[in-house]
Amino acid sequence: MAQELQAGRPPPIAWRLAIADAEGTILDTISFGAVAFGHGMPGALLGSRETRQLVEHVRHTIRQGREHRASLRAGIAEARDQLRTLGRLNATLDKRSNSEE
């Protein structure tokens, strides 16, 4: 799933997450859609307490990712605007320099 998200492709909603303990024993499974978009799901549908905690952690991580992405986009837009301004200033200075020669 991480590779799909990093590549900019959303993972299919039907994909399932397997929740395992430290030894690799699968304790529970849950659909990616329920984790990512199931905000209104009753807690009982999310299985054990550990599963609910993991789901909340995943949701928090998704929210953080969206916030970081928005912040990066804003930073890129600001840098682009500053480069345009710098380009205009540079062009103005070039015109003044050429007219003084």
Using one digit for the tens of pLDDT, what is the confidence trace for 56-86?
Answer: 777 788 788 888 888 999 999 999 999 999 9
Residue 78, φ and ψ in degrees, nearest 5: -65, -45
- What is the spatial distance between Cα 93 and Cα 54, in angstroms, rounded to a whole number? 57
Report d(CA 7, CA 63) in Å as an integer.
Answer: 18
- The answer to whether 69 and 62 are in contact (CB under 8 A) is no
The tokens for 39 are 């905000």
Global pTM reads 0.48
- Confidence tier at 13 by pLDDT (50, 70, 90): low
The model's confidence at residue 101, banded by pLDDT at 50, 70 and 90, is low
* Residue in the block written with tokens 């969206």: 66
List pLDDT tens digits, range 24-58: 888 888 777 776 666 445 454 556 677 777 777 77
